[in-house]
Amino acid sequence: MKNQRILASIWVAAAAALGAAQETSAAAGLRFAVGGASFEVELSAAAQASFRACTETLDALSARGWDVSGMAVRIQRNPFDATRPGNAVVIASDLPPEEGAFELAVSTVERELRRTAEPAIARLLAEAVAAHTAPPGVAPRLRWEREWLERLGSGDLLGTALPELLWREGADAAVRGAANGAWPAAALAVLNELGLERPLHALGEVAVAGFLDPARLGFRGPSLPLQAANSALAGATVAPGRAALRVVPLACDSDAVALSALRAHGVEAWVVVRYPLTGGFDAVPLPAQGEIAVPLRSVAWSGVIVVNLDADATLSLALRALPNELVHVRSWDFAAGDNAVDLAWQTEGGAGVQGYVVEALTRGERGTWTVVRRGLLPSTGGSTAPTSYQFTDPDASGVVAYRLLALTDDGLLAEIATFPLSRGR
C-alpha cells in the first residue's frame, strides 16, 4: 500500500508538470486529460515512462497541425484485456517508451486520414508521418526504414518513394492533401501544386537513392542487393504493366557498351554503375535521344533502373557493344618515395573522356575501402597521337593504393588501373 501511495504521488507530479488534469483514481490506474486527449494509465514505472513519451508525441503532432482531440489512450500491462472499452488506443506498458509513442503517432494520424482516404492508404501515410517525426535512430523508425527498403526492392513505388517524396516536398500538409482523393492521383496533384514540374522524375530520384544509397535519404539501412528483375539485356523492351520500379542488368562481353532508348513512353530511367572496392555508384538519367557510353570492365555492377506510374508505359532499349575501350593506355609509370607518389601515363584516343580521376585509397579495420582524396586532370581531347599525363601526391601517409579512372562525358567512371602502395617502398 505504501508503494502504491508513492507511485500515485509520482503520477500527480508528472501530470502537473505536463499540464495534465487528473480526473479520477481507479483500480486500473490514474486518468488524465492532456491537450484534448484522455489517458488511463496503470500504476507502474514503465507506464509512467510510456505516458511521458506519448504526451510528448501528441504535443508534437498537435504543433504540426494534426487533430489529437478526443484521442483515448490506455497504457496497461495486458493490451488484450477484452473487459475494457474498445474505442481507445491500447499500449502495452512493458513496451519501450519509443515503441508506444510510435504506435500512438500512427493511430492519431491514421484516425484523421481515414476520414477521407482508404484505410490502407491512411495507414501507409500515417506510418510515414510517424517515422519522420520520431527521434532519429529509435527502434521503430529503423524498423520502418527496413520495411520501406524491402518494399522498394520488390518494386513497390507507390508505397515507398511516393509518400517519401510527399514528405520531402510538403511535409504534413502534403500528406494531408494526398489523402483527399483517390491514390495516387491526389498525391500527384499535390506535387503539381507544390511546383514539381516532373513528378515522375523526382519520384525516380527518390527511388534510385533509396535503392542504391539509403543514406542519401537519411536512412541507416544498407543498400539493396542489385538483383535483376528482368533477363539480360540485348535490345529488350520493358513493359511494366503497373506502377513499379524495375531493374534491368547490362550484360555484354565488351569492355563498354553504347546504350540508347529506342522508345520511351511514361517512364523515367537511370543508367547505373556501381564501382568495386569502395562500393560507390553513379546514376545518370537515360536521355530520350542519343547514346550513353557505359563502361563494363572492372565495374561491380551496371544496369538500368526504370520507374513508371502508367500501366501502359513502355521502354525499348538498344545495346551496342563498343569494340574498344573508351581510352587506350599505352603505358604508365608509378614511383613512390618516402612521402610523395608520382603517377604518369600515356594514352591514345580518349574521345568521349572529360578527364582522368586519381583516387587515393585507404582500408578500414573491416576490410572496407575508402577514398581519402581525389584528383582530376582534364583530358586534352580524343587525339590519335599519344598524350602524356602526370599526377603527384606530395603526402601519401595513410594511403595503401591509388586508382586511375577515366571520367566519361556522360559522368561515369571507367577504371584503368590500380596501383598498390608498399609501405616498405
Specify the long-range contacts of residues 43-46, CB closer than 8 Å, at least 24 apart. 43/4, 43/7, 43/8, 43/11, 44/7, 44/77, 44/93, 45/7, 46/93, 46/94
Q: What is the rounded distance in angstroms from the CA atom of residue 370 to the CA atom of residue 367?
A: 10
pLDDT of residue 239: 44
pLDDT of residue 177: 97
Give 166's pLDDT tier (boundaries 50, 70, 90).
Answer: very high
Summarised one tens digit per residue, pLDDT across range 77-98 is 876 665 555 567 889 888 999 9
Strands 244-249 and 301-308, by their bridges, are antiparallel
Summarised one tens digit per residue, pLDDT across range 117-153 is 999 999 999 999 999 999 888 999 999 999 999 899 8
pLDDT at 109 over 80: yes
Task: Find all residues with CB under 8 Å of 192, minimum gap 6, and list them.
Answer: 199
* Average confidence (pLDDT) over 174-186: 95
pLDDT at 8 over 50: no
Lowest mean pLDDT among 52-56, 192-196, 292-296, 416-420: 416-420
Q: Which residue has the higher pLDDT, 288 or 240?
A: 288
Decide: helix, strand or coil at residue 252: coil
DSSP label at residue 20: P
* Average confidence (pLDDT) over 394-398: 84
Whole-Å CA distances, 233 to 25, 31, 229, 251, 304: 70, 64, 11, 6, 10
Helix axes 199-212, 161-178, angle to 10 degrees: 130
Report the half-sphere exposure of 417 (CA within 13 A, side-chain side).
16
Q: Which of 116, 92, 122, 117 shows the shortest CA–CA distance to 104? A: 92
Q: What is the rounded distance in angstroms from the CA atom of residue 236 to the CA atom of residue 274?
A: 22
Residue 287: is the preceding peptide bond cis (ω within 30°)? no
The percentage of the chain sitting over the pLDDT mark of 70, rounded to a whole number, equals: 83
Q: What is the rounded distance in angstroms from the CA atom of residue 248 to the CA atom of residue 271?
A: 10
pLDDT at 16 over 80: no
Give 381's pLDDT tier (boundaries 50, 70, 90).
Answer: low
Report the half-sphere exposure of 194 (CA within 13 A, side-chain side).
22
Lowest mean pLDDT among 137-141, 293-297, 384-388: 384-388
pLDDT of residue 2: 41
pLDDT at 383 over 80: no
Q: Cell 603517377 maps to which residue? A: 343
pLDDT at 403 over 90: no
pLDDT at 229 over 90: no
Helix/strand/coil (H/E/C) assignment for every residue in 79-142: CCCCCCCCCCEEEECCCCHHHHHHHHHHHHHHHHHCCCCCHHHHHHHHHHHHHHHCCCCCHHHH
Please, are residues 259 and 410 in contact by the beta-carbon 8 Å criterion?
no
Q: Which residue has the higher pLDDT, 60 or 229?
A: 60
Summarised one tens digit per residue, pLDDT across range 269-284 is 999 988 887 778 889 9
Please, are residues 100 and 92 in contact by the beta-carbon 8 Å criterion?
yes
pTM above 0.95, yes or no: no
pLDDT of residue 85: 56
- Please, which residues bridge with residue 74 across strands? 40, 90
Four-residue CA torsion sign, 326, 330, 336, 339 = negative
pLDDT at 1 over 60: no
pLDDT at 246 over 60: yes
* Average confidence (pLDDT) over 176-181: 96
pLDDT at 241 over 60: no
> Among 3.40.50.920, 2.60.40.10, 3.90.1640.10, 2.60.120.20, what is the CATH number of 327-420?
2.60.40.10
Summarised one tens digit per residue, pLDDT across range 196-221 is 989 999 999 999 999 888 999 999 87
pLDDT at 236 over 60: no
pLDDT at 156 over 50: yes
- Mean pLDDT across the chain, nearest whole number? 82
pLDDT at 192 over 90: yes
Give 161's pLDDT tier (boundaries 50, 70, 90).
Answer: very high
* Average confidence (pLDDT) over 103-122: 95
pLDDT of residue 69: 93
pLDDT of residue 280: 83
Summarised one tens digit per residue, pLDDT across range 350-370 is 677 888 899 999 887 777 888
- Please, which residues bridge with residue 307 across strands? 245, 268
